[in-house]
């Protein structure tokens, strides 16, 4: 757990320079920065608790889920007469969300620079599932709503519910990695964190956390939701879902600050060895054989299993950050995605949840669980 008993489900330093600026401006050491992150997290937890939202219940909406789905729904704004096309889409999509669902909602236009437009069109044609013809002038014409933590039934019901809405032109299955998912991760922004019948969003930092504003402007109250908000600097850091993407060389700051939050000693994970204890490996093979077999890992030796995990450490981001004070142990989770072949020879992707103990003194990541 993070100090104070709760994990930090996610820490967003990928698309924000706030932590970098604070660290640089005040010349803070990693240990001092760890205390700053801890204090900001505690402020966030207390602020939403005062509004009836328990941070500990938000894990499924803020972290990738191995058995849940993520889908991006695509809308052609040229088919929407209203100027506020996001509002028009929200009027259609909000009634389709299960009331008890907790999920993150990201949205935005599929923005690309002019010289990348051909590549964007190619991705839409090859990696999106288009159900209507689109007379595309610019990828910015496509507005996207991204939802996570969906069951297969929810995915079907939402997609079917949108099928008669003419601006709905298709979707992207974003449960596993793809170039299209990488693009979505760079262009979409936080709209709301939906927790059952509450919709939480970020408001201006100069307004206190005691107020509630609806900055994205969706008709959430009209659809039976309570609209709550938190100062955006805290909402962005701790309450926004990060769409998984590969770590770009030179942009490792997000991982560094995540490690700082649980250890005060961030080191490049690429320099770490993966340690798989023999007893731990045998336990995983006996108690979690299904996922290992689907991923083609069941028959691997301990060293081969460690090598397979290490190869994927830099392909994702780390989350569920916690420090167990009683054991002086820092831990984090990551999603390991592996490609294998089924009996017919077709490629398939298997996602496994890995928990790793971070031991910088030995430069070791000790495998705790993998399933």
Secondary structure (DSSP) of 97-122: S-TT-EEEEEEEE----GGGHHHHHH
Domain finish residue from 152, 187, 222: 187
Instruction: Provide the number of structural domains found in the chain.
Output: 2
pLDDT digits (tens, 9 = 90+) for 25-40: 899 999 999 999 999 9
Does residue 109 surpass a pLDDT of 70?
A: yes
Q: From CA 288, how far away is CA 291, in angstroms rounded?
A: 6
* Average pLDDT for 95-124: 97
Q: Is residue 35 part of a domain?
A: no
What gap in Å lies between CA 73 and CA 353, rounded to an integer?
26
200: in domain: no
Q: Among 172, 2, 148, 173, which residue's Cα sits nearest to residue 61?
A: 148
- Any idea which of 87-96, 141-150, 223-232, 275-284 has the lowest mean pLDDT? 275-284
Higher pLDDT among residues 274 and 345, named by residue: 274
Top pLDDT among 246 and 68 is at 68
Q: What is the dihedral of CA 262, 267, 272, 275, to 10 degrees?
A: -20
Domain carrying residue 366? 267-370
Q: What is the pTM of this model?
A: 0.94
- The answer to the question of residue 247 being in a domain is no
Q: What is the DSSP letter of 360?
A: T
Domain end: 156, 187, 218, which one? Answer: 187
Backbone angles phi, psi at 220, to 5 degrees: -70, -40
158-167, 190-199, 228-237, 324-333: segment of lowest average pLDDT? 324-333
Reply yes or no on whether the pLDDT at 160 is more than 80. yes
pLDDT in tens, 237-289: 999 999 998 776 666 788 999 999 999 899 999 999 999 999 998 999 998 89
Please report, rounded to a whole number, the percentage of residues in the chain having pLDDT higher than 90. 79
**Residue 113 buriedness (CB in 10 A; 0-12 / 13-18 / 19+):** exposed
Task: Answer yes or no: is 306 within a domain.
Answer: yes
How far apart are alpha carbons 293 and 183 in whole angstroms? 31
Count the Cβ atoms, other than its own, within 10 Å of residue 284.
21
Instruction: Let me know: does 147 contact 94? Beta carbons within 8 Å.
Output: no
First to last CA, the chain: 20
Is the residue at 33 inside a domain? no
The encoded tokens of residue 103 equal 């999920």
Q: Is residue 365 part of a domain?
A: yes
Which of 187, 204, 235 is the last residue before a domain boundary?
187
Which residues have a Cβ under 8 Å from the Cβ of 34 and sit 6 or more positions away?
A: 260, 261, 262, 263, 264
pLDDT score recorded for residue 250: 62
């Amino acid at each position: 757990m993070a100090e104070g008993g709760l994990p930090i489900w996610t820490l967003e330093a990928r698309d924000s320079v706030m932590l970098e600026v604070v660290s640089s401006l005040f010349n803070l050491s990693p240990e001092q920065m760890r205390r700053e992150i801890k204090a900001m997290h505690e402020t966030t937890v207390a602020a939403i608790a005062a509004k009836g939202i328990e941070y500990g219940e938000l894990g499924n909406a803020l972290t990738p889920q191995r058995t849940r789905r993520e889908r991006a729904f695509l809308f052609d704004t040229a088919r929407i007469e209203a100027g506020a096309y996001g509002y028009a889409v929200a009027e259609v999509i909000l009634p389709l969300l299960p009331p008890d669902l907790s999920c993150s909602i990201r949205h935005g236009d599929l923005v690309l620079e002019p010289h990348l437009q051909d590549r964007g069109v190619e991705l839409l044609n090859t990696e999106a599932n288009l159900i209507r013809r689109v007379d595309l002038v610019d990828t910015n014409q496509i507005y996207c709503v991204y939802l996570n933590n969906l069951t297969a039934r929810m995915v079907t019901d939402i997609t079917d519910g949108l099928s008669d809405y003419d601006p709905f032109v298709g979707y992207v299955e974003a449960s596993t990695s793809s170039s299209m998912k990488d693009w979505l991760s760079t262009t979409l922004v936080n709209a709301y964190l939906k927790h059952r019948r509450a919709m939480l969003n970020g408001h201006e930092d100069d307004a206190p956390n005691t107020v509630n504003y609806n900055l994205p402007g969706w008709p959430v109250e009209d659809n039976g939701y309570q609209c709550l908000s938190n100062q955006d600097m805290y909402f962005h850091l701790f309450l926004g879902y990060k769409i998984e993407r590969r770590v770009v060389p030179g942009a490792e700051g997000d991982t560094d600050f995540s490690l700082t939050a649980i250890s005060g000693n961030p080191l490049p994970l690429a320099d770490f060895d993966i340690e798989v204890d023999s007893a731990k490996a045998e336990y995983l093979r006996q108690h979690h054989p299904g996922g290992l077999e689907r991923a083609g890992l069941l028959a691997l030796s301990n060293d081969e299993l460690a090598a397979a995990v290490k190869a994927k450490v830099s392909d994702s981001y780390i989350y569920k950050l916690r420090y167990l004070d009683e054991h002086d142990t820092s831990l984090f989770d990551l999603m390991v995605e592996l490609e294998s072949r089924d009996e017919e020879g077709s490629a398939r992707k298997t996602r496994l949840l890995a928990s790793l103990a971070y031991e910088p003194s030995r430069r070791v990541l000790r495998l705790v669980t993998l399933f």
